[in-house]
Amino acid sequence: MSIVVKDLIRVYRTGKSEVIALRGLNLDVKAGEIVAIMGPSGCGKTTLLNMIGGLDRPTAGSILVDGKDITQFSENELVEFRRRNVGYVFQFFNLVPTLTAEENIELPMQLAGTSHAKRKERVGELLDIIDLHERKHHKPDELSGGEQQRVAIAVALANDPEIILADEPTGELDTKTGKEVLQLFHTLGREFGKTEIIVTHDQRISPLADRTLTIEDGLIIK
């Protein structure tokens, strides 16, 4: 799926103060492309990801995913979009603490109404991809950081979305684990043709991504 962002503006108003997180950002991501986005804290990276992922609505501008402007979607359409088309990987994993690894991976499919049999099959596939079969019955607090992030990636892939959005996926990981996770992202992009936008401070992403962009003050500068 291709992603075209045009003149995207996002303004946050809290009380009397106003923060302009994005100032008319433009971005073009081709289908199957891996794009890394970097920038200092507060530059608007996460905001951009939230917009593209349908988690937030812009103040102005448009976001075309495969030609459809998701900023015009109704709430139900956005839910479907998030359910079917986007897989989100968070910095802090954001796994449900009371569910096992296997159950966390299964959750998006349950939300999407997938049948039990198909869910079980897909979970097996994803556990193969992330290589975590032996730990599938463990809860998040019983897994290491790297294992949790791999589970989080599997969760993001559960409904086989075309788009993967990752917000600082290696931020909480050590060097070795971070490298493994980045490698996984690379594999997903190349072998499974996913369109990936990865927000990161990790310089090691550059050789693995098709493009690296920098955001500063709500605009892409290069």
Partner 1 sequence: MSSVGAFLRFALGSIFRNRRRALSAMIGIILAVTLIAGENIAIDTTASSALMNILEAVQVDFMASASSSDYVNVTSTIAKVENVKYVEPIYEIGYVEVGADVNSTDHYANIVGTRPEFEVVMDKLDITGTFTLENGTAVLSSNIANSVGVGIGDTICLSNTIRTFENEVWRNRTYSLNLTVSGIVNIKEESSYEGDIYFWTPITSQTVFVSIYEASSIEEKLNLTFHPWVNNSHYMSGAKIQYFIWIDRDKLIDINDLEGSKTSIRQVKKRIELSGAQYGVSVYGSDLEMAINSYSNRMVSFRLIMLALSLPVIALGFYLGILGVELGMNERRREIGILKSRGVSNKQILLMLLFESIILGVIAGIIGLLCGLLSSRFFLGLGGQEIGLFDIAVSNASITISILLAIILMLIAVVRPARRISKIPIVEALHHYSKEEVKKRYKPTRDIIMILIASLTYFFMVTFDPSTFFSGSFTFLTLIALIFFMLAPILIPFSPFFLIFGLTRLLTRSTNKIYSAVSHATKFFTKDMWHIVNKNLARNPKRASRVCVIISLALAFGIFTMTFMDTSIAFEERKIRAEIGSDIHIISYTENMSFERKLSAIDGVDMVASASFTSCNVGSEYASISAFNSSAYCEIVDLEDYYFIEGNPGVLTTLADGENAVINKRLADEYGFNVGDMLPVQVYHYEGFAEGTTHTFNYQITGIVKYLPGLQLWGYGVYGDNMVFVDLSRINVTLFDHGESCFLVKVKNGFSHEEIANDIENLYPNEASDIKVFQVEFDRVKNDPMFSAFLYFLTVEYAFVLLIATVGIGLIMFVAAREREQEIANIIARGASTKQIFSLFLGEGLTIMLIGILIGSGTGLLTAYAFNEMISIDPYQLVERTLILSPSLALLIFASIIALIFTITMVSLQAARIKLHQALRIRGG
Contact residues for partner 1 (CB under 8 A)? 21, 41-42, 44-47, 50, 53, 55-56, 75-76, 79-80, 82-84, 88, 90-92, 94-99, 103, 107-108, 110-112, 116, 155, 158-159, 168
Residue 159 Cβ vs partner 1, minimum distance, rounded to whole Å: 7
Question: Which of 47, 71 has the CB closer to partner 1?
Answer: 47
Residue 166's nearest CA partner among 137, 130, 194 is 194
Question: Which of 177, 200 has the CB closer to partner 1?
Answer: 200
Question: Which of 39, 189 has the CB closer to partner 1?
Answer: 39
Phi-psi map region of 10: left, alpha, beta (phi>0 left; psi -120 to 50 alpha): beta
DSSP per-residue string spanning 9-23: EEEEEETTEEEEEEE
Residue 80 Cβ vs partner 1, minimum distance, rounded to whole Å: 8
Phi-psi map region of 103: left, alpha, beta (phi>0 left; psi -120 to 50 alpha): alpha
Residue 94 Cβ vs partner 1, minimum distance, rounded to whole Å: 4
Question: Which of 129, 186 has the CB closer to partner 1?
Answer: 129
The DSSP output letter for 210 is S
Residue 20 Cβ vs partner 1, minimum distance, rounded to whole Å: 12
Question: Which of 116, 133 has the CB closer to partner 1?
Answer: 116
Question: Which of 49, 188 has the CB closer to partner 1?
Answer: 49
45, two tokens: 């990276």
CA angle, 144 then 149 then 150, to 5°: 100
The dihedral built from the CA positions of residue 69, 72, 77 and 82, taken in this order, carries a sign that is: positive
Question: Which of 94, 186 has the CB closer to partner 1?
Answer: 94
Q: Which residues contact 210 (CB under 8 A, 6 or more apart)?
A: 33, 34, 35, 189
Residue 203 Cβ vs partner 1, minimum distance, rounded to whole Å: 17
The DSSP output letter for 2 is -
CB 204 within 8 A of CB 182: yes
CB 201 within 8 A of CB 7: no
Residue 122 Cβ vs partner 1, minimum distance, rounded to whole Å: 14
Residue 210 Cβ vs partner 1, minimum distance, rounded to whole Å: 24
